[in-house]
């Protein structure tokens, strides 16, 4: 399936995995709206790179957990680019702390962005996306590996996994797929923050391929689900190099 002339909205597109997704979709011929929270300069750079790849790219600010803000982004995308075909919700936050030490403010922040934000973006996708489209959400491999200190984060992503197959069924008859990717340890700024090199090496060694994933590894899976992967629907795809 050609992805030419498709229009994608990518939240969290200013850095890390989201930035790699923007680049990969642009390389596939999709026009891209890069949605960012606070990193305007990085988001504009991602949009400029999309333009350099021969497609249209725009950068738009939004709080993904604010329904008015997100609706405004979709309005602007439709006005400047056209009807939306692909929605990739890569925006997310992480806080790692044992449950007994977890601050409720941290939990509230996680749930607001990772759960409420997913529902807000999904709701707008239901209202806007056209036939032949795709929705790609983000979970995490930690919903299966159950690592200590990841309880709040993994719980927020488990909510995403619960939504995906239900949303896929709610799109019945509209030729729209809904899936999630669940990355394993990926070499991003967010992942490396607060970790020693020894710990990073130990985590990398847990994968049969003896390395961390790259943002480009994850973006390749997203591009498949956002383009030619039309018979994959209602699934959580674990993109983790074989970590059990």
Kindly report, residue by residue over 75-96, the tens digit of the pLDDT.
Answer: 999 999 999 999 999 999 998 9
Report which of 236, 190, 186 is spatially closest to residue 207, judged by C-alpha positions: 186
Other residues' Cβ atoms within 10 Å of the Cβ of residue 97 = 16
pLDDT at site 191: 82
pLDDT for position 159: 98
Catalytic residues: 153
Reply yes or no on whether the pLDDT at 5 is more than 90: no
Please give the residue that has the higher pLDDT: either 209 or 190: 209
Q: What is the pTM of this model?
A: 0.94
DSSP string, 53-99: TTS-EEEEE--TT-HHHHHHHHHHHHHHT-S--EEEE---------G
What pLDDT score was predicted for residue 120?
A: 98
pLDDT in tens, 133-169: 999 999 999 999 999 999 999 999 999 999 999 999 9
Task: Output the pLDDT for position 49.
Answer: 96
* List of domains in the chain: 7-230 (3.40.50.720)
């Amino acid at each position: 399936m050609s992805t030419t002339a498709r229009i994608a909205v990518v939240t969290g597109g200013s850095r890390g995995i989201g930035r790699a997704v923007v680049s990969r979709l642009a390389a596939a011929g999709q026009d891209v709206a890069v949605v960012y929270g606070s990193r305007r300069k990085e988001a504009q750079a991602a949009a400029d790179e999309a333009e350099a790849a021969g497609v249209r790219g725009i950068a738009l600010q939004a709080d993904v957990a604010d329904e008015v803000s997100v609706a405004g982004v979709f309005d602007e995308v439709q006005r400047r680019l056209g009807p939306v075909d692909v929605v990739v919700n890569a925006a997310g936050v992480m806080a790692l702390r044992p449950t007994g030490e977890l601050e409720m403010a941290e939990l509230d922040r996680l749930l607001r962005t990772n759960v409420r934000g997913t529902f807000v973006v999904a709701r707008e996708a239901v209202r806007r996306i056209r036939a032949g489209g795709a929705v790609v959400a983000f979970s995490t491999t930690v919903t299966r590996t159950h690592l200590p200190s990841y309880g709040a984060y993994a719980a927020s992503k488990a909510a995403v996994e619960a939504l995906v197959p239900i949303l896929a069924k709610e799109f019945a008859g509209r030729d729209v797929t809904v899936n999630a990717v669940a990355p394993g340890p990926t070499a991003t700024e967010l992942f490396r923050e607060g970790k020693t090199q020894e710990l990073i090496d130990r985590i990398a060694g847990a994968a049969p391929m003896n390395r961390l994933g790259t943002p480009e590894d994850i973006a390749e899976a997203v591009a498949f689900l956002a383009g030619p992967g039309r018979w994959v629907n209602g699934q959580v795809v674990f993109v983790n190099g074989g970590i059990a």
